[in-house]
Structure 1
Amino acid sequence: MPPASLSMTFFYFTHRFSHMLTPAAQFLTYAEAVALYQQLKEAEVDALVKTCGPPSFPFGDGLFYQLLIEEADVPLARETVEAFELQRAAPKAVRCSRCRAEGAAPLLRPAWWQRLYYAGTVLHKCTQCGTEFPV
């Protein structure tokens, strides 16, 4: 027989999430799912993190994560989720790999060997230290 605390936790979980759940966000990385979960927790919205997407090998879990919330909590979570999605969709600033300064610009005319060696990437040049690096 399981300990009383375990059965009480199971009862709370099944009772708390027995209502219809709706996805608040899908196809998140693990770090994004944890960050959004914490933001929703601060907004006093209960959320459930679950794997989703295509299976990974060899274990079969989803490659991505989704956050599920109760339908009643959707209005409370809407502002938090929308702000998170805007932040997630915003392009990340390119930082120099050497001095970590922002504002590196794409290299306009890379040498032929750089085009060959760095095929599929864009070379950037730092405005502060002059380092060339692929992104």
Structure 2
Amino acid sequence: MRVLFLSCLLLPLVVGCVTVEDSDTLYGAYSDYVSVADRNNIIEVADDFFSRNLLGEGYQSNPDAADQLLFKNTMSNTHSHFESIENDVGCLIINGTNSEEEPVVFSLKYSAGSAGWLIDGIHVGFVEAASDYPQTASCPADYFG
């Protein structure tokens, strides 16, 4: 009985540590964005997830900003992801499908900010089949030469 009681006390600490560690990854930062950002709050929380470089000036008054910042809605299911980090820049590939089960690929560039990783570049692409999904991390610039 004592072991069960101690396990119940320690479990939240262990789970909490795993969660904190995951938010240090690029995919963890992306997952935070997916779980928090929605049509009702994207303009207010944009600074928490996107770099000032990506947002630009006056994004709050841009009527298309919400749709662009909610690029996550293009993907309905995530199948795999790959990331790489070098110094204060990271690249993340997320492979998944849209609502019609068509293969979608997000390529995201992240930059390290004082509050954590911020999205600094976005490329949303479609591939013919899941067998065409990238199997390594790459940044949006890799698609544009």
Q: TM-score range by the shorter chain?
A: under 0.3
**Rg: which structure is higher?**
1
TM-score, normalised to structure 1's length?
A: 0.25
